[in-house]
Structure 1
Amino acid sequence: MADRLVPSISLKDFENRKGEITKQLLDAAETAGFLTLVDHGITVDEIEKQFALSKAFFDLPAKVKSKTPHDTKSNNGWEYKAQLRPSTGTYDQKESLWLQRGSQWPSDEDVPHFKDTTTEFLDKCAKVSNQVLSCLAIALNLPDDHFRVANDPNKPDCLTQLRLIHYPASENAVGTWRAGSHTDIGILTLLFQREGEDGLEICPGRESHSSFAMGDVFTPLPAHTGPIVVNIGDMLMAWSDDRLKSNFHRVRAKDVGKSPSRYSIAYFNQGRRDFVLQGPLKKYPPVTVEEYFNQAVQRNFARQQAATA
């Protein structure tokens, strides 16, 4: 079922196959809102190297990890089981490190080679993202570079982030949510998983970027090292006049036995603060990226209050 819902799309020979790839990306984005990329130019060795750095960081004592503290204003830094999901009314059972190019990072003294390796990884993620966003812009009859300009991570006002995530092993989490059901606020997410560390489930069927309605059938998406799981975010759903689907997903513990540690890496393309967001059909009023984010956070906060009242 997952293979049918989530197509695998090759970026091999991208420039010569761009028309074919654009059609495949559009088909996936209009239905599941999820796809996997192969032949994307980031090697398994490079992915495993970034995962090794992630594990090295999360293996540090809490007092060392807290040297990169979580800043609630910028949402950068290390947080531990601090994310409350309105969909479950409980805190996600994970820790994570949020990073932006200009934010505080762990020192190379605490995690050797962290800065150089992670910077190279960010650059590779940006390249893959630009290829996908270029195709989706063309599919929406926008200029080829429309989303690339609006999401240039080298600009100081860009909100794009990398998130290193660790779900600690658990003996007593059978059937519970390691990360509750949610959509991503931004434009486009690249998710890297490790072989055998399953748990991701997706649920297509959302019709409006401002709707919290979801279906009741979640499909597991097995974890493999190498392919990149890509999903549409709320912002791109709005930017496409709801044509491209930002759908719900979650991470579920095993139904039987112990859930082992799970590591994942998410690259969130989140746009530049002052760039104006409006779809080609002008279904919604124009809004800046920053305003959209603030509104989304306020909606989520209201739901969070309702869930805990």
Structure 2
Amino acid sequence: MAERLVPKISLKDFDNRKDEIREQLIRAAETAGFLTLVDHGISAEEIEAQFSISKAFFALPKETKGKTPHSTKTNNGWEYKAQLRPSTGTYDQKESLWLQRHSTWPNDEDVPGFSTTTTSFMNKCAVISDQVLSCLAIGIGFPEDYFREANDPHQPDCLTQLRLIHYPASKDALGTWRAGNHTDIGCLTLLFQRDGEDGLEICPGRESHSSTGTGDIFTPLPAETGPIVVNIGDMLMAWSDDRLKSNFHRVRAKDVGNSPSRYSIAYFNQSRRDFVLQGPKKKYPPMTVGEYFHQAVQRNFG
């Protein structure tokens, strides 16, 4: 069932297959709002190297991780079980490290190779994001470079973030939410998972970017090292006049037995704060990305 809902799309020979790939991406974005990328240019070894950096950071004492404190103003830094989900009324059972290119990062003395490995990884994520976003831009009626410009991570007002996530092992969380039902506020998310560290479930069925309605069934999406899970965010749903679907997803603990540690890495394309957001059909009034974020946070978290 998961394969039917979430198509696997190859980016191999992208420049020569762009039309074919664009059709596949648009079809997936209009239905499930999720897809899996293969042949994307980041090797399994490079992905594991970034996961090794992540695991090394989360293994540090709390005092050391706290040297990169979470800021509620910028949403960067280390947080521990701090995200309250209105969908569950409880805090997500995870810790995470939010990073922007110019935010404070853990130093290489505490985590050897952190800066070099993470910078290279973010650069590769940006290239893949550009490929996907260029196809989606054309598909919904914008110029090819439109979303590339809107999500340029080198611009000082860009809100794009990398998030390293750790769900600690649990013996008493059977069937509960490691991360409650939610959609992503931003534009486009690249999610990296590891073999055997399952829990992600998705639920198509949303009709507008501000709707809280879901479909009837959440479908598990098994974790694999290598393929990238890609999903549409609320912002891109609004930007496409609700044509591309930002759907609900969650991370669920096992129904039977202990839930081991789960690590994931998310690259959130969140666009530039001062960029004006409005779809080609002008279904919604124009507003800046910064204004959209503020309204979305108020809507989702009060």
Q: TM-score, normalised by structure 2?
A: 1.00
Q: What amino acid is the match of 2:134?
A: S
- Note if contact 2:85-2:301 (Cα within 8 Å) is conserved in structure 1: no
- Superposed counterparts of 1:177-192, under 5 Å: 177-192=177-192
Shift of 1:139: 0.3
Alignment match, 1:12: 12
Secondary structure at the aligned position of 1:48 is classed as helix
**Following the alignment from structure 1 to structure 2, what is the Cα–Cα distance between the partners of residues 272 and 41?**
25
Secondary structure at the aligned position of 2:231 is classed as strand
- Note if contact 2:134-2:144 (Cα within 8 Å) is conserved in structure 1: yes
Q: TM-score, normalised by structure 1?
A: 0.97
Unaligned segments of structure 2, at least 5 residues: none
**Following the alignment from structure 2 to structure 1, what is the Cα–Cα distance between the partners of residues 301 and 155?**
28
Alignment match, 1:194: 194
**Following the alignment from structure 2 to structure 1, what is the Cα–Cα distance between the partners of residues 214 and 35?**
19
Alignment match, 2:215: 215
**Following the alignment from structure 1 to structure 2, what is the Cα–Cα distance between the partners of residues 290 and 212?**
21
**Following the alignment from structure 1 to structure 2, what is the Cα–Cα distance between the partners of residues 46 and 156?**
27
**Following the alignment from structure 2 to structure 1, what is the Cα–Cα distance between the partners of residues 216 and 88?**
14
**Following the alignment from structure 2 to structure 1, what is the Cα–Cα distance between the partners of residues 110 and 4?**
43
1:152-210 CA-to-partner distances (Å, cap 9, x unmatched) read 00011100000000000000000000000000000000000000000000000000001
Secondary structure at the aligned position of 1:15 is classed as helix
Q: What amino acid is the match of 1:268?
A: F
Structure 1 residue ranges (4+ consecutive) displaced by more than 6 angstroms after TM superposition: none
Give the fraction of aligned pairs with identical amino acids, expressed as a percent.
80
Shift of 1:141: 1.5
Q: What amino acid is the match of 1:188?
A: L
Secondary structure at the aligned position of 1:211 is classed as coil
**Following the alignment from structure 1 to structure 2, what is the Cα–Cα distance between the partners of residues 73 and 298?**
14
Alignment match, 2:35: 35
**Following the alignment from structure 2 to structure 1, what is the Cα–Cα distance between the partners of residues 301 and 175?**
26
**Following the alignment from structure 1 to structure 2, what is the Cα–Cα distance between the partners of residues 273 and 167?**
30
- Superposed counterparts of 1:125-274, under 5 Å: 125-274=125-274
- Note if contact 2:94-2:166 (Cα within 8 Å) is conserved in structure 1: yes
- Superposed counterparts of 1:22-171, under 5 Å: 22-171=22-171
Shift of 1:213: 1.1
- Between Structure 1 and Structure 2, how many residues are aligned? 302
Secondary structure at the aligned position of 1:215 is classed as coil
Q: What amino acid is the match of 1:31?
A: T
**Following the alignment from structure 1 to structure 2, what is the Cα–Cα distance between the partners of residues 80 and 274?**
30
Unaligned segments of structure 1, at least 5 residues: 303-309
Alignment match, 1:306: none
Shift of 1:215: 2.0
1:70-103 CA-to-partner distances (Å, cap 9, x unmatched) read 0001000000000000000000000000000000
Alignment match, 2:275: 275
